[in-house]
Chain A
């Protein structure tokens, strides 16, 4: 249904779960100078109500456990945007023992924004990019998570005790 596709792209509810140093970029995007609400993106309090998860910056193992749980609690279809290079290859924490290097291995990511913390304009641009991807129907990373669920779980198991943290579907 085209109307639903249109609605899904126009109203993205963002999970206000700022994980890394990029979180400080979000307030300016939300408030009057850049105003992301123009595009129908408002921060929501709980994963149940939101469909967009922002991984802003480096992701330590500790926060990864919470992120995976939040991700699984979000209703499908859900999208993930990775901020900065830390989500791509670990960035400057490439050799740190507690930062995960590749976000891809653990949760499927739709979109990356490069820049060691992208400015609000880049973020707004990413949101519009995501809107196009949804319109074109390309943004279905969440299907990948469901299809090769075991692969993701295996990767996660390497890093933390999956049994305790992941939801029993």
Chain B
């Protein structure tokens, strides 16, 4: 029974993710003073992509790339408690399991794109991995004080430990929260840090050789990714929520990143990495010091 439940759960989250992406395009459109596509447009896009007759593939690894990417994000989803609703696994997802599974996605996509031997793809992958040096550290350093404060490494217990509104981790650790926001912008690959899929510079980066169903898989991967990344952020900083409030929280956070994305130009890669070693790093260190002093 749990397998069926597992599929439904994954399908539900994918659809919600796609709706988020539709909402994002709608919001960006309205910011640019135009109507923008219907909210369910990404779902149509994905269906169209899967309806594609035959697409080019450059080898087994090329076609398995998106498969591994989706595996990574789906597995992370299962280890991530959404609000106080834990997924089918009673095993309360551990921070490091989630962090390391999060990396499987980009690695799988990188392997696939590498096989396509397109210079644009290679530049895209190099940027994606170097960016990790930037935002991944800040994200980890931002969430570390919360885990240390509540004396546990499992996300589920962190959620339970936080009480009602006044004592959310976001309130207790404001500095880390802001640093976390900076990191989230990079983690989601939004505009100032949208170097990986920079359509104007490197023709949509690693996805340059992916068409048809591969692109469909990558779209779903991106959709679930949104839910997982914002979900992780909300879990850590906003304490116990019912499922509805959880998705509301994730939408608000996602809304913030989309707004920044709509108005910001794009960094150069070394600027982006160097940016992360400036203000956000300082903030996260302050956050850690705060934990030491406060505790």
Contact = CB atoms under 8 A, between A and B. Distances in A.
Q: Do A and B bind? A: yes
14 contacts: A1-B51, A4-B48, A31-B34, A33-B34, A35-B34, A37-B34, A38-B34, A39-B37, A46-B207, A46-B209, A49-B211, A49-B215, A75-B54, A76-B52
Interface residues of B, number: 33
A2 B38 CA distance: 19
B208 interface: yes
B45 interface: yes
Interface string B206-238: 011111100100000000000000000000000
Interface stretch (A5-13, A56-64, A87-95, A105-113): A5-13
B199 A45 contact: yes
A9 B45 CA distance: 10
B47 A4 contact: yes
Nearest to A30: B34
B52 A75 contact: yes
A32 interface: yes
Contacts of B204: 44-46, 49
B96 interface: no
Interface in A44-102: 44-46, 48-49, 51, 73-77
Interface string B18-54: 0000000100010011111110010111011011111
Interface residues of A, number: 29
B55 A38 contact: no
A139 B29 CA distance: 29
B120 to A, nearest CB: 8
A8 B34 contact: no
B56 interface: yes
B218 to A, nearest CB: 10
A40 B199 contact: no
B103 to A, nearest CB: 25
Contacts of A51: 48, 52
Contact of B53 (A31, A37, A48, A75): A75
Contacts of A48: 55-56, 208-212, 215
A66 to B, nearest CB: 14
Interface string B177-219: 0000000000000000000000110011001111110010000
A11 B35 contact: no
B275 to A, nearest CB: 25
Given A40-B44, A44-B204, A49-B210, A4 B35 contact: no
B179 to A, nearest CB: 33
Contact of B51 (A4, A31, A73): A4
B246 to A, nearest CB: 29
A49 B54 contact: no
Given A4-B47, A6-B44, A49-B204, 20 more contacts: A1-B51, A7-B45, A10-B48, A11-B45, A13-B45, A31-B34, A32-B33, A32-B34, A35-B29, A35-B34, A35-B35, A37-B37, A40-B44, A40-B45, A42-B37, A44-B204, A48-B209, A49-B211, A73-B56, A75-B55
Contacts of A73: 56
Given A10-B44, A49-B215, A37 B36 contact: yes
Contact of B29 (A6, A37, A44): A37
